[in-house]
Each structure stands twice: as C-alpha cells, then as structure tokens.
C-alpha cells in the first residue's frame, strides 16, 4: 500500500526574476511514466505550490524555462518539507533542489 501525504507540498516553484514573467514547464516522471506535467506562468517574484500530487518516492523532474533552457534532477518526495521538489528561476536559469523550509 502506498502512503499518501496530506496537506504537504509536493512541488514548490518560484520566479526570483525582478522584472520578467516566465513560463515554467514541469514534467515529473516515475520510472519513465509521466506522473505530472503542467506549464505554470509566474510573474516576477511569484511562487506557487501543488499539494498531494505524488505518493512518497523518488522522481525525475525536468523543468523547462520559456520553452528553452531546461534542468533535470532526481529528487525524493515524502511527508516532510525536506522531501519537497523545489524549482527556482533566477538569472534566466532553472535550479531544482530537494527540500523547502
């Protein structure tokens, strides 16, 4: 049986650009199977999150910025803030990390 997280962020995204709105395409895969795929449009300084998207586990995430540069990482999702997928846009590039405070 898979344990689901409740009221926790699975994905947190943030646009740290001071003046640019960005389209951020997120694809989350589990063993090659797409579990979540969506494009988010974030204004300068805006952030957002999605909750209860995924059961706890290890996922590969690819984040594409404005249809161009992308970044891929493998991260763990779980019941604690340290197990949140964090995607941040800064200086026209995407960084993916694990954990959110």
Q: For residue 68, what is the domain's CATH number?
A: 2.60.40
Residue 4 belongs to some domain of the structure: no
Residue 92 belongs to some domain of the structure: yes
Residue 1 belongs to some domain of the structure: no
Residue 23 belongs to some domain of the structure: yes
Q: Which residue has the tokens 């540069």?
A: 69
Residue 60 belongs to some domain of the structure: yes
- Structural domain including 14 reads 9-98
* pLDDT above 70: residue 9: yes
**pLDDT band (50, 70, 90) for residue 100:** low
Q: What is the pLDDT of residue 1?
A: 41
Residue from 37, 45, 1, 40 nearest 19 by CA: 45
The domain tally of the chain equals: 1
**pLDDT band (50, 70, 90) for residue 101:** low
- What's the pTM value of the predicted model, to 2 decimals? 0.85
Q: What is the pLDDT of residue 43?
A: 96
**Average pLDDT, rounded, for the chain:** 88
Residue 2 belongs to some domain of the structure: no
Percent of the chain with pLDDT over 90: 65
Instruction: Write phi, then psi, for 83 (nearest 5 degrees).
Output: -115, 40
* Tokens representing residue 62 in the block: 């690819």
**pLDDT band (50, 70, 90) for residue 13:** very high
């Amino acid at each position: 049986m898979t344990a689901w997280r409740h009221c926790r962020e699975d994905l947190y995204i943030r646009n740290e650009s001071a003046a640019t709105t960005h389209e951020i395409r997120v694809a989350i895969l589990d063993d090659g199977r797409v579990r979540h795929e969506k494009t988010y449009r974030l204004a300068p300084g805006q952030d957002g999150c999605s909750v209860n998207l995924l059961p706890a586990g290890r996922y590969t995430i690819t984040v594409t910025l404005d249809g161009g540069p992308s970044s891929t990482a493998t991260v763990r999702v779980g019941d604690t803030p340290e197990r949140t997928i964090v995607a941040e846009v800064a200086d026209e590039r995407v960084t993916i990390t694990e954990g959110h405070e």
